[in-house]
Structure 1
């Protein structure tokens, strides 16, 4: 489980395809911190397990199912990826509950510079329905953000300067694809209400 507060970014060092899986090797930014084999780390909002570690890099594997529903299938060498290690029980939950299970992808359709902040607008591949609400939480490439406005297919968020500079949003452009995870609490509430009305 994660919070959507990005610790750092890392660049893709190597990409190897083995059948329908993708092995992703990244420059290791956690050299002075503990990471270990089988540890879960959130990569652009996708929970992946560490398969191999050496002095300067580490490797994770994305399965075919993960590649089909996330933006990891579009990765290139030197692409920048947002990283967050799993939450520990003694930490404050500064963002919101992020599982690392991507619900859909979305395309950036507009970026507005607001002199110290940015408004990013997205068009979702999946219909948003009631799982996305104004002022609700959403994770974009693993970043915990608050929705400004939304409709059935589009939504936008405000990005402060610190978040813009410390995540891969600063290299994003119109047309780029991002991973989207809806708020887990909203998904459970929506499912419960649907069951009530379908009785």
Structure 2
């Protein structure tokens, strides 16, 4: 489990590509401090398992399903990536619940500056936007962000200068791909409604503990 608060930017040092898999070697500093083999690290929002590490880098495997479902296959040697270690039980919870399981890959349609903010319009599927709410949370490339505007197949997020400078969004351009994970709590609620009832009634709420 992650929070969507990026700890540092890493750099892709090596990519060993199989037919449908990838082994990534990523240069980093902060996330390696207390690292162990088997630990989880979110790389551009994708939960990956550390297979080996040194004082300056770590290696992780990307399985076929993850290659197909995320934007990691677009990475190249020298690409910069967002990194976050799994949430510590005694740490501050600064973002929102982020699982590291990507729902889909979106496309940046428009990037524009206004005052001290930068707005991104991101194309998504109707299935993803149906799980979003205005002022709700969404993870874009692993970054916990607030939805500024919502349309049928597009979300708009607004970021402050700190997020622009400390994450990969500062490098992103119109047409670039991003990993999208909608709010985990919203997905559970939607599933509950789909499997049990499509109508909210007093009896339904009581039966489900509300």
How high is the TM-score relative to the length of structure 2? 0.90
User: In the alignment, is residue 48 of structure 1 matched against residue 48 of structure 2?
Assistant: yes
CA distance in 2, matches of 1:31, 1:145: 21
CA distance in 2, matches of 1:57, 1:193: 44
Structure 2 contact 32–57 (Cα < 8 Å) conserved: no
State the Cα deviation string for residues 10-67 of structure 1 (Å, max 9, x = none): 1110111133210111112237711111110000000001111123221111101001
Structure 2 contact 125–154 (Cα < 8 Å) conserved: no
User: In the alignment, is residue 13 of structure 1 matched against residue 13 of structure 2?
Assistant: yes
Q: Map of 1:1-199 to 2, 5 A cutoff?
A: 1-30=1-30, 33-125=33-125, 127-197=127-197
Q: Which runs of 5+ in 1 are unaligned?
A: none
SS at match of 1:128: helix
Across the two proteins, how many residue pairs are aligned to each other? 199
State the Cα deviation string for residues 121-149 of structure 1 (Å, max 9, x = none): 10014633530111110000000000011
CA distance in 2, matches of 1:43, 1:50: 11
Q: RMSD across aligned C-alpha pairs, in angstroms? A: 1.6
Structure 2 contact 106–123 (Cα < 8 Å) conserved: yes
Q: Which runs of 5+ in 2 are unaligned?
A: 200-210
SS at match of 1:89: coil
